[in-house]
Amino acid sequence: MPVNVPPRNQVDKAWTWNAESVFPNHDTWQTEQQALADALSSLEHFQGHLADGPHKLAEYFTASEQLFRRTLKLFFYARMHLACETTDQVAAGMTGQAGGLLARLGGATAFAEPELLQIGEEKLLEWVQAEADLKVFQHYIENLFRQQAHVRSGEVEELLALAGEPFGQVDQTEEALTSADMKFRPATSAVGTPVEVAQGSIDTILGEADRDARRTAWESYADGYLAMKNTLASNYQASVKRDVFYMRARRYNSSLEAALFQHNIPKDVFYSLIDTYRKHIPTWHRYWAVRRKALGVETLNPYDIWAPLAKEQPVVPYAQAVDWIAEGMAPLGDEYVGILRQGCLQDRWVDVYPNQGKTAGAFSYGTYDTFPFIMMSYDDNLGALSTLAHELGHSMHSYYTRQNQPFVYGDYSLFAAEVASNFNQAMVRSHLFKANSDPNFQIAVIEEAMNNIHRYFFIMPTLARFELEVHERIENGKPVTADDMIGLMADLFSEGYGSEMHVDRERVGITWSQFGHLYSNFYVFQYATGISAAHALCGRILDGVPGAVDNYLKFLSAGSSMYPVDALKMAGVDMSTPEAVERTFGVLASYVDRLDALTS
């Protein structure tokens, strides 16, 4: 049973993220914040003069880059502190300051792209060839003109940038409400012992053998959200209306198109995923039947999805997890593994353990000028190992991108991001299957695999269908209430659960509010495409396909210097076809077969 979650100030510093590598202290941060606020006016003399010549344009790119790098670092420091302790009012205030500064910087640079469009693509590409400092911007310029129809005038762009600050409050409200203000009644174990339910402990409880604890924790968690369903629904609708506002302001036909066009991802990729998922729903129905039989229950409930099937769950301390992850990633070479180990064990990339007020889930986050940090709540099991491997996939992706790309291409799309994370999990899982043939351990690894695939290949496509429907309703001026959203979510999950699962419609239906991912426009479907590409690429490397490792490392290093679909083709997988998604459903089916054999 999980232990009580400690307050932040009782967590050993060795297990916290290396904040002092970003800023030595809050005072230094405040000094930089004021310096940046004063520096924004330095961009004013560029407005109206980008057409003066290639040298002036190169000067502008350099000046704006430095301000963005400094401001993003400022925002990250505050935001990471707040994520690790959402009740920290100082961090909340700093996050607001930095967010406001970032919006002001966006407004101060909003004139640039409309001016570049007025100069014209032909002349700009001539300047790229003539001015050494501009050569790196060729892809940026070509991509800008690809999106020309959706770039507005300088004044409109400035307003859109400034709107980012108040619109960003929607996301902060969601986090403050769910991670700081929302309280959950204690769960009750089979022997009547109260069990604390918190964002940092819910996943651990749901993975326990005690069915009473699982049931009461799941009910408590869902009821905590249901108690605020109207507020949560209103806030999520504000997020969707934000997407619709930007879609219309930039003259797209739909929010989906607006989300995908930026990275040149065809809409068919989204619809193909949904169609392929629905085609293979019977595979999930079979898994629920196998799981119900293995647990020995008459009816499966959602709180049984993570119940352990192995007689003994492996205990995996953090250091052991790092070792196993490093061994699993060994095919990528000594350099990759060495960087990963140093980040985890020496440079304190990871904020490791749960504490009170820590935000739910896990993420990898940093800037071009920081380590690629990880926030999580490690709890010494295979699931936590898998989460760490996943986030390290993101962090190593960030590391390689920033080492190999200039700032203008030093990020990558969400579509590419979820490939690297799921790739790491697939590689480590393959290693664990080979490293220990004990049937109990094999069952435990399959359980971890199924939990991961369930999240990314069942929950996320279901949320994507929900997200599409809510966006389309709001785009068409139709009303959407909290009960509408709960009913829609319950219907979609009922289709996926089939006859093997009992569906408590209210508690299942509130699932949408438990995923902050929905506040990022059409993000969730990219988990499913990501896990599909990841399994395809993992298979190439484990099969020893010539050049597979080098091509994958090139993908990690590409950043946004290539469109994500093209970068993945370079790595060896074509996401414009359903082949990778079909392959991953084959992997899922093979796990169900193995689990059935081992548990029978």
Question: CA-to-CA distance for 137 and 408, rounded, in angstroms?
Answer: 8
Asked if 469 is an active-site residue, the reply is no
Which alpha helices (DSSP H) does 85-163 contain, by range? 89-108, 112-119, 121-130, 138-146, 154-162
In one-letter notation, the amino acid at residue 394 is: H
Paired with 363 in beta bridges are 375
Rounded to the nearest 5°, which phi and psi values hold at 492? -65, -45
Place of tokens 């600050």: 165
DSSP states of 324-362: HHHHHTGGG-HHHHHHHHHHHHTS--EE-S--TTPPSS-
**Residue 6 DSSP one-character state:** P
- Please tell me what DSSP assigns to residue 476: T
Cα–Cα distance between 49 and 366 in angstroms, integer? Answer: 33
Residues 391, 418, 447, 467: which is the catalytic one?
391
Distance CA 492, CA 506 (A): 13
Number of separate helices (H) and strands (E) present in the chain: 26, 5
CB 256 within 8 A of CB 243: no
CB 85 within 8 A of CB 381: no
Kindly give, in sequence order, each residue whose CB lies less than 8 Å from that of residue 301, ignoring residues fewer than 6 positions away: 215, 218, 501, 502, 504
Which residues on neighbouring strands pair with residue 373, listed in sequence order? 365
Produce one character per residue of 269-279: b if its CB has 16 or more CB atoms within 10 Å, e if not: bbebbbebbee
- Distance separating alpha carbons of residues 443 and 454, to the nearest angstrom: 16
Q: Which residues are catalytic?
A: 391
